[in-house]
Amino acid sequence: MHTETYRQLDRDHHLHPFTDFKALGEEGSRIVTHAEGVYIHDSEGNRILDAMAGLWCVNLGYGRQELVAAATAQLRELPYYNNFFKSTHPPAVKLAEMLCRLAPAHMNRVFFTGSGSEANDTVLRMVRRYWALEGKPDKQWIIARENAYHGSTVAGLSLGGMAPMHAQGGPLVPKIAHVRQPYWFGERKLAEGRDTSPETFGRECAAALEAKILELGEENVAAFIAEPVQGAGGAIIPPESYWPAVKEVLARYDILLVMDEVICGFGRLGEWFGSVHYDLQPDLMPIAKGLSSGYLPIGGVLVGDRVAETLIERGGEFFHGFTYSGHPVCAAVALKNLELMQAEGIVERVRDDVGPYLAERWATLAGHPLVGEVRSRGLIGALELIDPDTGERFPKSLGAGTLCRDICFDLGLVMRSVGDTMIISPPLVITRAEIDELVGLAREALDGTARRLAAREQADGPAIMIQPSIEESRS
Ligand SMILES: Cc1ncc(COP(=O)(O)O)c(C=O)c1O
């Protein structure tokens, strides 16, 4: 079939996730046909560097035949059986054992799900069940953060702190509160226009968590949930003071810590888990995405001993589970994925080699007139777009981030926009040469964005003069 046929059928029959259906129908979809390494290819013959690893998940890159072989072998052996009714199968058992070996020492159990959203539904159920079994049924409130993303099921949506999603999804799950996020550049510097240091701001955000615990009453608060680094919110790397200060707060109260590792888990920050990078000891860790490098859908919740022992010893039957919890083919692929990551030293490579290299190269974009802040950690990075004349955000109507994202695509780069924050999260197997290419393309895209914005503003009102950078070109 040709591109136009696919587009027409897509328009006629396919409702895409997180999409304005009508607008996409008018524009038409990009048809991605195949991929290898860090590149995807579309039906019009374009090769595009996928600096988002799909949706933060294709950590081992595309085209890994070992994963194909693992899936094929398992499909032949046992394509499906469930883990209900006193049954299990070798892939689920082996994957559970391996995950608990990789997880922090106090985490020795895993509950499998089909996705990150289902993992967070499971978290909600487990946390409330835990406190009920502990004889504290009032401990039901869960504190999350504004602008957090924890998935798109009703529990994920409610735990998440995304206002536009809440506006469409209500009524939400009760007894979930949100506190401010440690987003220094967007909230403190730009929105509030204050110059408080990031470190002070980080401590203020931790204090806001404590204030919320006190407002709700410790006796009513079950857990605090957060990502080590907020991904979908805009690759928000908290100030260095944030996690130590949050740890201090949590140590004062008997509240569970849930670290959502759906993005940060499996090497993204240069450790097996983001919690290890920030020296946190969570009670629960929802996982998904990089667990199978996105080759097949699988997620889960790693459960610390404290919670697991109560659920096991006192819980009786836990009325929760999914048809595809621990699906054998998904589990076999996840297991092979983790084995390959170990054998190839992928996590260490991110920590010691490509992570620092990306940081160095990405930082060179700081000099670009459109860039107000550059940040990265491991293989996650962000650029904050600002109007160079004012040092503030561009007017929303200019759609600077979306424009930059579209220009990236045209140049052969997937870089995502969250408002006017440009974000990357490339496959962990990316090479230094591919990082050079990524940064070169990002710079070209910034130049193109600057030119287009200047043209739009000239048409609309006072001209802004943006000198596109010529410091580097595509390598
Ligand atoms: C931190 C986090 N948690 C949960 C989810 C939901 O995962 P899924 O889309 O697999 O349901 C996501 C997805 O992007 C995520 O980024």
pLDDT of residue 353: 98
pLDDT of residue 459: 72
Q: Is the pLDDT score of 33 beyond 50? A: yes
pLDDT in tens, 191-228: 999 989 999 999 999 999 999 999 999 999 999 999 99
| Average pLDDT of the chain to the nearest whole number | 95
Q: Would you say residue 268 lies in a domain?
A: yes
Supply the angle between the helices 328-343 and 65-77 in degrees, to the nearest 10: 150
pLDDT of residue 457: 72
> Which of 295, 315, 342 is a domain's end point?
342
Helix, strand, coil percentages (3-state) for the chain, rounded to 5, are 45, 15, 40
What mean pLDDT do residues 49-68 have? 98
Q: How far apart are CA 271 and CA 291, in angstroms?
A: 14
pLDDT band at 465 (very low <50, low <70, confident <90, very high): very low
Shared domain for 317 and 272, answered yes or no, is yes
What mean pLDDT do residues 311-329 have? 98
Distance 153 CA to ligand 1 centre (A): 10
Q: Is the pLDDT score of 389 beyond 60? A: yes
Q: Would you say residue 19 lies in a domain?
A: no
Task: Check if 290 has its Cβ closer than 6 Å to any atom of ligand 1.
Answer: no
Q: Is the pLDDT score of 470 beyond 50? A: no
Residue nearest to atom 3 of ligand 1 (CA): 150
Q: How far apart are CA 287 and CA 297, in angstroms?
A: 11
Shared domain for 314 and 358, answered yes or no, is no
Q: Is the pLDDT score of 421 beyond 50? A: yes
pLDDT band at 349 (very low <50, low <70, confident <90, very high): very high
pLDDT in tens, 59-106: 999 999 999 999 999 999 999 999 999 999 999 999 999 999 999 999
What mean pLDDT do residues 422-441 have? 98
Shared domain for 326 and 257, answered yes or no, is yes
Shared domain for 151 and 38, answered yes or no, is no
Asked whether the beta carbons of 226 and 193 are under 8 A apart, the reply is no
pLDDT in tens, 359-377: 999 999 999 999 999 999 9
Q: Is the pLDDT score of 300 beyond 60? A: yes
Shared domain for 335 and 352, answered yes or no, is no
Pocket test for ligand 1, best of 122, 145, 152, 262 (most atoms within 8 A of CB): 262
pLDDT band at 464 (very low <50, low <70, confident <90, very high): very low
> Closest by alpha carbon to 475, among 429, 441, 424, 452?
441
Residue given tokens 């100030």 in the structure block: 239
Q: Would you say residue 193 lies in a domain?
A: yes
Residue 5 CB contacts under 8 Å (≥ 6 apart), including other chains: none
Shared domain for 176 and 112, answered yes or no, is yes
pLDDT of residue 460: 64
CATH number of the domain that 92 lies in? 3.40.640.10
Q: Is the pLDDT score of 387 beyond 70? A: yes
pLDDT of residue 461: 56
Q: Is the pLDDT score of 308 beyond 80? A: yes
Q: Would you say residue 23 lies in a domain?
A: no
Task: Check if 113 has its Cβ closer than 6 Å to any atom of ligand 1.
Answer: no
If one counts the domains in the chain, the total is 2
Residue given tokens 């990089």 in the structure block: 290
Task: Check if 322 has its Cβ closer than 6 Å to any atom of ligand 1.
Answer: no
Distance 262 CA to ligand 1 centre (A): 6
Q: Would you say residue 469 lies in a domain?
A: no
Task: Check if 176 has its Cβ closer than 6 Å to any atom of ligand 1.
Answer: no
Query: 170: which 2 tokens?
Result: 């209500």
pLDDT of residue 458: 73
Tell me how many degrees the CA angle 207-200-388 measures, rounded to the nearest 5: 125
> Which of 289, 312, 342 is a domain's end point?
342
Q: Is the pLDDT score of 471 beyond 50? A: no
pLDDT band at 474 (very low <50, low <70, confident <90, very high): very low
Q: Would you say residue 471 lies in a domain?
A: no
CATH number of the domain that 391 lies in? 3.90.1150.10
Shared domain for 320 and 372, answered yes or no, is no
Q: Is the pLDDT score of 463 beyond 60? A: no
pLDDT of residue 138: 98
Distance 31 CA to ligand 1 centre (A): 23
| Pure H helices in 303-431 | 305-314, 328-343, 346-349, 355-363, 400-411
Q: Would you say residue 120 lies in a domain?
A: yes
Shared domain for 309 and 211, answered yes or no, is yes
What mean pLDDT do residues 37-46 have? 97
Shared domain for 83 and 125, answered yes or no, is yes
Shared domain for 119 and 265, answered yes or no, is yes
Strand locations in 386-464, DSSP E?
413-414, 416-418, 421-424
Q: What percent of the chain has pLDDT over 90?
A: 95
Could you give phi then psi for residue 401, rounded to 5 degrees?
Answer: -65, -45
Distance 147 CA to ligand 1 centre (A): 13
pLDDT band at 456 (very low <50, low <70, confident <90, very high): confident
Query: 323: which 2 tokens?
Result: 């048809």
Q: How far apart are CA 313 and CA 379, in angstroms?
A: 40
DSSP states of 30-54 as a string?
A: --EEEEEBTEEEETTS-EEEETTHH
Q: Would you say residue 472 lies in a domain?
A: no
Shared domain for 312 and 368, answered yes or no, is no
Containing structural domain, residue 358: 31-63+346-459
Q: Is the pLDDT score of 380 beyond 90? A: yes
Q: Is the pLDDT score of 357 beyond 90? A: yes
Q: Is the pLDDT score of 466 beyond 70? A: no
Supply the angle between the helices 328-343 and 90-102 in degrees, to the nearest 10: 40
Shared domain for 163 and 231, answered yes or no, is yes
pLDDT of residue 372: 98
46-56 b/e (C-beta count within 10 Å ≥ 16 → b): eebbbbbbbeb
pLDDT of residue 66: 98
> Which of 283, 311, 342 is a domain's end point?
342
Pocket test for ligand 1, best of 113, 150, 158 (most atoms within 8 A of CB): 150
HSE on the CB side for 6, CA within 13 Å? 11
pLDDT of residue 104: 98
Distance 447 CA to ligand 1 centre (A): 32
Task: Check if 235 has its Cβ closer than 6 Å to any atom of ligand 1.
Answer: no
pLDDT of residue 222: 98
